[in-house]
C-alpha cells in the first residue's frame, strides 16, 4: 500500500523513517520551539518521495498544524499586518498554481529534477538563514518596511509557499520588523500562514495535486503531528534551541546539496545502515 509514494530503490523502512521524522519535525516547529525547523520536512521527504507527492502530502498536514497554532493564538494577531502580507500573497499563489498546472500538463516526470533542484537551492538558502537568523532579525528591527515591501514579500511568499511550502523567512522577517512584540508576532505569523495555506488548498485540488490517495496517506501520518507538538513543548525547557537549530541547519544543508547536485549521500548512508 502507498508503494507509488516511494521512490525506486528506497527501502520501505527508510521511507517511513524519513517521512515520519519530517512530520514530527513539522509538529515541533509549529509548537513554537525552533520555528525554522519545519523547513527540513520538505527536502527530507523529497529524498525518498516524488516532489509532487511531497508538496501535496504536506499541505493538509500543515493546515492541521496551523489550526492548532491559531487555537492557541486566537486573539494574538494584528489583522492589518496579516492582510498586508496575505492579500498580495494571493497573486503569488495564483502564479504558483499556474506553474503546477503547467507542469502537470507537460508531464510531471520530466520536471521532477527541476523541482528537486529548486527545493535544493531553497534548502541551502534556508540553512544560511537559520545560521544568520538572529543577525537578520537585528538588522530588520531597525527598519519599518512599508507597503511596497509588503507587496513584494507577499507575492514572493505566496509563490514559494505554493511551490515548496517555503515562505517562512519572507513572512517572518517582514512581520518581525513591525515591532509587534513576541506574543503578537507569533500569533500574527500563525494567522498569516493559516490564510495562505487555506487559500492554496482549492488550487492544489484544482490542478490535481491532492487526490484520494494523498488524503489516505495523510491519515497514516496525522497522528505524528501531536507527537511533534508534545516533543516541542517538552524540549522547550530542556533542550537548547540554538543547538537544535544548528542540527536542523546541517541536515537541511546536506539535504539541499543532495537535491541540488543529485549526490546520493543519504542513499549511501541508508545502504550502509541496512
Q: Output 70 or 60, whichever has higher pLDDT.
A: 60
pLDDT band of residue 139 (cuts 50, 70, 90) is low
Do residues 93 and 163 lie in contact, with contact meaning Cβ atoms separated by under 8 Å? no
Q: Is the pLDDT of residue 88 over 90?
A: yes
pLDDT number for residue 86: 96
Sign of the alpha-carbon torsion through 112, 116, 119, 121: negative
Do residues 23 and 225 lie in contact, with contact meaning Cβ atoms separated by under 8 Å? yes
Task: Note the pLDDT tens digit of each residue in 3-49.
Answer: 888 888 888 888 999 999 999 988 888 777 666 677 888 888 988 88
Do residues 92 and 155 lie in contact, with contact meaning Cβ atoms separated by under 8 Å? yes
| Exposure on the CB side of residue 82, measured as CA atoms within 13 A | 18
Task: Note the pLDDT tens digit of each residue in 217-248.
Answer: 999 999 999 898 888 888 877 888 778 877 88
Average pLDDT score over the chain: 85
Instruction: Over range 112-136, report the average pLDDT.
Output: 80
Rounded CA separation 257/176 (Å): 29
The 8-class DSSP code of residue 109 comes to G
Q: What is the pTM of this model?
A: 0.87
Rounded CA separation 96/224 (Å): 28
For 145-196, give the DSSP string. --HHHHHHHHHHHHHHHHHHS--HHHHHHHHHTTT--HHHHHHHHHHHHHHH
Rounded CA separation 187/89 (Å): 18
The 8-class DSSP code of residue 107 comes to -
Three-class SS state of 9: coil
pLDDT number for residue 135: 64
Three-class SS state of 238: coil
Amino acid at each position: 500500500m502507498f508503494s507509488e509514494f516511494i521512490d525506486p530503490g528506497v527501502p520501505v523502512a527508510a521511507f517511513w523513517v524519513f517521512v515520519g521524522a519530517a512530520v514530527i519535525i513539522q509538529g515541533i516547529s509549529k509548537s513554537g520551539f525552533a520555528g525554522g525547523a519545519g523547513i527540513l520536512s520538505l527536502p527530507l521527504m523529497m529524498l525518498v518521495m516524488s516532489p509532487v507527492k511531497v508538496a501535496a502530502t504536506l499541505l493538509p498536514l500543515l493546515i492541521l498544524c496551523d489550526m492548532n497554532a491559531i487555537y492557541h493564538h486566537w486573539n494574538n494577531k494584528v489583522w492589518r499586518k496579516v492582510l498586508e502580507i496575505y492579500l498580495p500573497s494571493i497573486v503569488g499563489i495564483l502564479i504558483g498554481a499556474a506553474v503546477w498546472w503547467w507542469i502537470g500538463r507537460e508531464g510531471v516526470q520530466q520536471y521532477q529534477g527541476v523541482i528537486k533542484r529548486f527545493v535544493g537551492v531553497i534548502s541551502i538558502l534556508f540553512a544560511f538563514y537559520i545560521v544568520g537568523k538572529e543577525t537578520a532579525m537585528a538588522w530588520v528591527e531597525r527598519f519599518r518596511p512599508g507597503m511596497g515591501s509588503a507587496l513584494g514579500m507577499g507575492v514572493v511568499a505566496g509563490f514559494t509557499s505554493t511551490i515548496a511550502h517555503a515562505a517562512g523567512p519572507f513572512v517572518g522577517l517582514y512581520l518581525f520588523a513591525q515591532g509587534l512584540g513576541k506574543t503578537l508576532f507569533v500569533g500574527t505569523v500563525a494567522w498569516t500562514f493559516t490564510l495562505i495555506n487555506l487559500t492554496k488548498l482549492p488550487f492544489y485540488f484544482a490542478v490535481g495535486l491532492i487526490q484520494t490517495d494523498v488524503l489516505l496517506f495523510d491519515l497514516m501520518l496525522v497522528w505524528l503531528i501531536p507527537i511533534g507538538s508534545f516533543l516541542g513543548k517538552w524540549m522547550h525547557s530542556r533542550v537548547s534551541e540554538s543547538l537544535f537549530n544548528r542540527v536542523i541547519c546541517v541536515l537541511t544543508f546536506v539535504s539541499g546539496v543532495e537535491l541540488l547536485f543529485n549526490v546520493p549521500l543519504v542513499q549511501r548512508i541508508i545502504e550502509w545502515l541496512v
